[in-house]
Structure 1
Amino acid sequence: MNIWLLTVIAGVAVAWAAALIYFDIRQRRLPDALTLPAGAVMLTWTILSMDFSGLWGFAWPLLYFLLALLSKGNGIGGGDIKLALPLGIAIALVSGAVYIFVAMVITALLALVWGIPLRLRNRKSPQKFADPPNGPAMLLATAMVTFTPL
């Protein structure tokens, strides 16, 4: 693939991730305008490339959907479920299906580490958001499992 095309794709991916992180930290929401097209692009890529291993990417949003049902929507929201699709497909295509679960564990650990200071600070002075947003942890975990040599 052309180096310029790879550079453009990488730039778009970084800008997309930065926008998602911004919205999730500031507003605790992941806009459909950012999550749904990314899912459609990754699904289309999987189908057109005929690399159907990417379909394993559905494991992450399906598991998040089940967790959201079990927790009655506390902790995992619809934006997290929609973001899990393109991230899951990317992980499945680049690293393999097993690493989707590795990314989920890393996401939970990152959220836990980030959440402890938020909880402690919230005890002293109530704040609007006492729990960490999940999107940044999902994006960082995905970057870790896709860009770390295995």
Structure 2
Amino acid sequence: MLGGALIVLVVWCVAVVLVDERSRRIPDSLTLPALAGAVAGALLSDPPVVLGGVAWAGLYLVGRGIGGGDVKLAVPLGIVAAAAGGIGAVLLAVAVAGAVTAVRGLLCRGPVPHGPSMLVGVIIAVLPGVIAGVSCGA
């Protein structure tokens, strides 16, 4: 049922990673449609989860070294995390993203793009809820 949506999501994630790894920036053409779609979908189905995106982006706005593309990417990822597991999942995703970027920076001995780490963070934060929701019977 969700096969087509899942394919689009995977293609989008791959595009974000490839572009950010290559150019060290995530263009508006990748972030703004995702941001608009996530906000619109959340407002139509579960408005409070928008706060997850606002919270993640807000944390990045007060921090240093985070680019505008990462701030815009934080909104849809925060909404997804909040929808899947509440504010705890958002905070877990932020923490994992920071840790992954820090480890990559140490291993690579220099600056690394943060977008791929954000995607890893949200996957780790959302996966337990997805697995728990999988029905093997009916």
With structure 2 as the length reference, what TM-score do the two structures score?
0.89
How far apart are 1:47 and its partner, in Å? 1.2
Return the match for 1:22 from 14, 18, 24.
18
Do residues 136 (structure 1) and 116 (structure 2) align?
yes
Which amino acid counterpart does residue 77 of structure 2 have in structure 1? L
Other-structure match for 1:52: 47
Provide structure 1 residue ranges, at least 5 long, that are not aligned to the other structure. Answer: 120-129
Matches within 5 A, 1:30-109: 30-49=26-45, 51-57=46-52, 58-67=54-63, 71=64, 75-109=65-99
Query: 1: CA distance between counterparts of 2:79 and 2:108?
Result: 31
Give the length in aligned residue pairs.
129
With structure 1 as the length reference, what TM-score do the two structures score?
0.82
Other-structure match for 1:111: 101
SS of the residue 1:96 aligns to: helix
Deviation string 1:106-143 (CA, Å, 9 cap, x unpaired) is 11110111111211xxxxxxxxxx21110000001101
Deviation string 1:29-54 (CA, Å, 9 cap, x unpaired) is 101001011010010001111x1221
Other-structure match for 2:5: 9
Query: 2: CA distance between counterparts of 1:41 and 1:84?
Result: 13
Which stretches of structure 1, 4 residues or more, deviate above 6 A after TM superposition? none
RMSD: 1.2
User: Which of structures 1 and 2 has the bigger CA Rg?
Assistant: 1
Other-structure match for 2:136: none
How far apart are 1:148 and its partner, in Å? 2.3
Query: 1: CA distance between counterparts of 2:12 and 2:35?
Result: 12
Which amino acid counterpart does residue 59 of structure 1 have in structure 2? A
Deviation string 1:84-124 (CA, Å, 9 cap, x unpaired) is 000000111111112111111111110111111211xxxxx
How far apart are 1:28 and its partner, in Å? 0.2
Query: 1: CA distance between counterparts of 2:81 and 2:51?
Result: 9
Q: Larger deviation: 34-43 or 91-100? A: 91-100
